[in-house]
Chains A and B, each alone.
Chain A
Amino acid sequence: KAGVTQTPRYLIKTRGQQVTLSCSPISGHRSVSWYQQTPGQGLQFLFEYFSETQRNKGNFPGRFSGRQFSNSRSEMNVSTLELGDSALYLCASAEASGGETQYFGPGTRLLVL
């Protein structure tokens, strides 16, 4: 099976802009989670989606939003970008929202200037 894919891989934006990141889970996986990875904070949970429903949301401002489509693909959107949003955004998929292993994508590196 193909692994989790994320597009784009790299992105440069300026403050105030908005950005949409995409994640395609492993075929058959219905759970998608998003994380923000930064050198200072490490990995921080953003959202978890299962069957098009947001199951959980981390401690991030409302500028961060997401959704999941019927084919389990997921997008996350960040509006009004700030310099501090520069990070590697990781997506992970699992067969279901359970104790199974998560499989991570390569990430989208976002740089906000």
Chain B
Amino acid sequence: DQQVKQNSPSLSVQEGRISILNCDYTNSMFDYFLWYKKYPAEGPTFLISISSIKDKNEDGRFTVFLNKSAKHLSLHIVPSQPGDSAVYFCAALNFGNEKLTFGTGTRLTIIP
């Protein structure tokens, strides 16, 4: 039972354009969401997060949007740069339970 889903295994975007990565979840008890970025042969690194009490969080070129009624979150990268090419994982947890539930990942390729 995949509680966190990333339905697009891969995405290609032109450099300078907007990249939008999507994530859906089924567990309404999740109250915190995170995005991780992973380069080949490295561990995932934290990118940005959002609490369920918010609907948007920005950090430079990265913005995460949360739509609780649709159980959907998205990561926007503007403008996309070649260094953004990586696998992106969304993850969720509920407070009081430190276990993260990860999605299957989306491989983003930025085309120069």
Whether both chains belong to one complex is answered with no
Contact residues of B with A, CB < 8 Å?
none
Contact residues of A with B, CB < 8 Å?
none
